[in-house]
């Protein structure tokens, strides 16, 4: 069973189509300048690569849902292309609100049971908040 780790949301003054376009851009602002190599097809694998804290990284996963412009979900792990026993599952939902959108991001732990302490959960929430801020800025531009 998936364990909820983090839950963040933001309001964006742009319609869902604009949010989706910004979200699925290869240089998506929600990945803070990293490049997302994906065809956004459910079942396909992806590689996310860039720099974080001045160090290069590569993350991997699989697209689970891509229902434009309503929901995007994918698995996520780091350091190896092989799926580890425990990894993250991220679900973004986009809901129209007036002429804008509400975007919610939830992170779940999936696979072998792994429990995060409250400090780690707070760090995930902060990072995901920054990701949604980047998405907001790009979609509203």
Q: List, in order of start, the domains of the chain with CATH numbers.
A: 3-140 (3.30.530.20)
> From CA 24, how far away is CA 68, in angstroms rounded?
10
Distance of CA 22 to the CA centre of its chain: 12
pLDDT in tens, 56-83: 999 999 999 999 999 999 999 998 999 9
Q: What is the pTM of this model?
A: 0.91
Where residue 30 falls among pLDDT bands split at 50, 70, 90?
A: confident
pLDDT in tens, 78-108: 989 999 998 999 999 999 999 999 999 999 9
């Amino acid at each position: 069973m998936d364990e909820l780790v983090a839950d963040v949301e933001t309001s964006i003054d742009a319609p869902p189509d604009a949010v989706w376009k910004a979200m699925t851009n290869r240089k998506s602002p929600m990945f803070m300048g990293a490049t997302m190599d994906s065809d956004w097809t459910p079942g396909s694998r992806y590689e996310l690569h860039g720099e974080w804290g001045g160090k290069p990284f590569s993350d991997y996963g699989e697209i689970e849902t891509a229902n434009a412009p309503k929901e995007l979900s994918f698995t996520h792990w780091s350091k190896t292309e092989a799926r580890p026993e425990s990894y993250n599952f991220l679900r973004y939902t986009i809901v129209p609100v007036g002429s804008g959108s509400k975007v919610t991001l939830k992170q779940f732990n999936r696979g072998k049971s792994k429990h995060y302490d409250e400090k780690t959960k707070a760090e995930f929430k902060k990072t995901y908040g920054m990701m949604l801020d980047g998405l907001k800025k790009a979609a509203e531009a």
